[in-house]
A and B are shown apart, each in its own frame.
Chain A
Amino acid sequence: MAVLDEAPPWLGFAARRLGGVLLVLTALVVITFAIVQLMPGDPARVAAGANATPDQITRMRHDLGLDRSVPAQFVDYVGNLLHGDLGRSFHTQENVADIVADRLPYTAELALLGIVVILVVAIPLGMLVAVLCQNGRRRRLDGAFTFVTGFVGSTPEYVLGTLLVYVVGIKLGWLPVAGAATVDALVLPVVAISLGPVCTIARIVRRETAVVLGQDYFRTARGRRLPARRLYLRHALPNLLTSTLTLAGLLLAGLLGGTVIAESVFAWPGLGTRVVEAITQRDLPVVQGVVLVLGSLACLINLLIDVVLGLLDPRTLSGKAAGS
């Protein structure tokens, strides 16, 4: 115990987090394997197609290894995964790894740009409103901010997307309404997926900032008559980033797997629409592969956020909650 207590905090932190990541990845592998076992119907029949004869279905079952015992199938599955083999689509016979490689960059592009926009807009906006409205000043501004962010934040993504397409794309003709062929085609989908989270995070930042502004250390810093920029950027911002970044990490993981509506409205060729298509076609290898990749990414993003939070606030390394 004494050795552990004396170990650098990063060591325990890394051990805990890596253990957690391994546990989640193992669970993901087991769950994705179980998809095929638990789905109703015969996957071999689906893979062979509606016109397949019983002989062809039997051959397909053998080719897919479905006539082997479940443990043997699991060993094969894990072995293939370790070789980067995610299987083949029942529907198109493509390598699932190729499908992921084709589609993931589009989804990542949308999600990463979305999260950058969310952070770049929401943090300054929330801080600005908190600073302007501190100590009960500018009540109208505070009310308008609360109303607008509440209203826009609760508006469904597909409504925002459709409105943007109608006004900016069709009526004004300023931007392409769909497609991924040009850089300007990114603008509307990014705005559509960002607007809601911008409002949510701006409200959180506004509340966290208000708390920070009331802290003793901040009043002390203010008493030293530091320039406003230095005061807010160096003394306020880092202390409200913990909850904001945690939420941003969850948002990014959600955006990677959940931009289905935006992808559909804007004909964006991402993973979300592909996995929905695979689900409706009962294309199990594609569903398995995409769930595995997205789950792993979500896991890695959370790990990355933990590391960043550890850098920002070393108290989190020991597992203690960051206080104000």
Chain B
Amino acid sequence: MRRVSRKWSAGAGVAAAFALVAACTTGGTGSGSGSGGASGSGGGDAVVRTAFTSDPKSFDPAKGDNLNDYLSARLLYDTLVRRDDGGVLVPGLATSWSSTATSVDLTVRGDAKCSDGTPLTASVVARSLTYFSAPETKAPAAKQVFGTGKVAVTGDDAAAKVHIELDHPWADVLFGLAMPQTGIVCDAGLKDPAGMAAGKAPGTGPFTLQDAKRGASYTFARRADYTWGPRFAVMPQGKPPASLVASVVGNESTAANELQTGALDHAALTGPDLDRFGSDWASTTLSSSNQFVVYNEREGHPGADPQVRQAVAALIDRTAYNNASTRGKGALLTSISDETSPCVLKQPYKYEGMDAATAKSVLNGRKIRVLGLNVISNGAGTAYLQAILKDAGADVELRNVDLATWASEFIGNQGQWDLGVMVNINLSATMTTPGSFMTGDSPPKGRNIGGTGNADYDREFLAALGTTDPAQHCAHWEAAQTALIKRYDTVPLSTVPQKNVYAKRISAVTPGGYSDLALLWVKG
């Protein structure tokens, strides 16, 4: 009997140890909550709850390379200008500006401060932009904003003026300065890059990062001293929240569940779950990205042959692609950007030339490696492309890869591919953002991912960037886009729609067609 008793004691001890450890860890989590609130009535009116799809990679705006980085950069750092509907620029940290094709002059507002209380001067702005443009910073958007040449930024504190000088024409700089990656960072952040990446450096935006639990949630507190900020043509009703909690929710269905049960006030949905939110929910549908075909036109690849490009273009049914990729929810593109870009082609894309039978004979027996991105409907769009190419008798190898691999192999041109679908988030809404992928040097020196060599396009591209006159600028861009389509360098596909759904108590606006969490306000 004694032996049995000892055995039982041991078993009970193990169970008690498990329970004790579990109780300790549960207690830790519980006490760490607070502002988020998991139930619908948990959050007060001063808190807005939204979702990140993953942890921000870096809170240094210059290092941002994904949507969660951009969203948090908007909260922590203001940009010099902001883009409103219709491609109109409105003041941000700059109150006025003027530009030529090779220079920009801006006047910095006098009342803005960093969150550590230091004044925001023209020289602070100059140092911030110099940091952004420096090659050693490796800012992914630097070439997009300033082009591939040299940049010099100077600040005159007495006159509150900032001067940007380029050694090459790049007329879209002002629109680039509206992108969240160009958020103005303070001197304290430049002295402490690691702190800035962790969100601990003072910022110039409306919020500061109050608490970060990687993988779980991020709490941003509204700055009491923030009295400036952009005024868009349409502003949200009510007032900004005292804090904003962004939970990390990787699974879109889970975000939809949380929105439906009131645990979230806002979520951005792109998949089938957006059908769960009908007209009884306030929502805004935006174009999260634009898809278009890019060929690897380098020597030895099938895309080097214009006939192959023409044959592929002849066989693609863009509506069928849109159905596969976005369940038909996307809009068919006219060119390499969507309608938010002022200079995009207005007339619908129309294929002219080769008939289907000839196209199939051109592609029959060709080896074509298709590279796609698995985050858009698990790569259903590129699976459609694979099907039509196979049907034409081509020997097709399809790889739908994750974002990091895709960025490296496709955008960085480090992989073996012949045909890819570009999924472009065009934050500047300029034609330059997608257009720079089709001209110039190959990566890493330039952005020409397919090695496209279209002389007409190159000429018009440079001409468009050489003028700030809106009419001329758009005329050159239209000619450039036409040249791309005429040479079968691309096939415009569709937008990827993103439905931003809001709880009833939230008032939100999306100026310029982009989501900004700082513009999620509380009604009343």
Contact = CB atoms under 8 A, between A and B. Distances in A.
Contact of B214 (A99, A162, A185): A99
Contact of B249 (A106, A162, A178): A178
Contact of A50 (B1, B258, B407): B407
Interface stretch (B53-61, B179-187, B223-231): B53-61
B254 A266 contact: yes
B36 A181 contact: yes
B25 A109 contact: yes
Max chain B Cβ within 10 angstroms of own Cβ: one of A119, A235, A311? A311
Contacts of B21: 108, 112
A225 to B, nearest CB: 15
Contacts of B8: 233-234, 237-238
Interface string A226-252: 000000011101100100010000000
A265 B252 CA distance: 9
B152 interface: no
A180 B254 CA distance: 13
Contact of A52 (B14, B138, B258): B138
A108 B57 CA distance: 25
Interface in B1-43: 1, 4-8, 10-11, 14-15, 18-19, 21-22, 25-26, 28-30, 32-34, 36-40, 42
Contacts of A45: 408, 414
B58 A102 contact: no
B258 A178 contact: yes
B214 A50 contact: no
Contact of B38 (A181, A235, A277, A313): A181
A180 B138 CA distance: 35
Binding site of A, secondary structure by majority: helix, strand, loop or mixed?
helix
Interface in A56-104: 56, 91-94, 99, 102-103
A177 B58 contact: no
Interface stretch (A3-11, A147-155, A267-275, A287-295): A267-275
A177 B39 CA distance: 9
B18 A116 contact: yes
Nearest to B412: A50
Interface string B223-262: 0000000000000000000000001111101110110110
Size bracket, chain A contacts: 35 or more
A169 B261 contact: yes
Size bracket, chain B contacts: 35 or more
Nearest to A54: B444
B215 interface: yes
Interface string B253-289: 1110110110100000000000000000000000000
A324 B435 CA distance: 77
A169 B215 contact: no
Contact of B26 (A93, A179, A186): A186
A112 B19 CA distance: 8
Nearest to A276: B250
Interface string B352-369: 000000000000000000
14 contacts: A45-B414, A50-B412, A50-B414, A99-B214, A108-B21, A115-B18, A116-B18, A116-B19, A165-B254, A179-B36, A181-B247, A265-B253, A269-B216, A311-B7
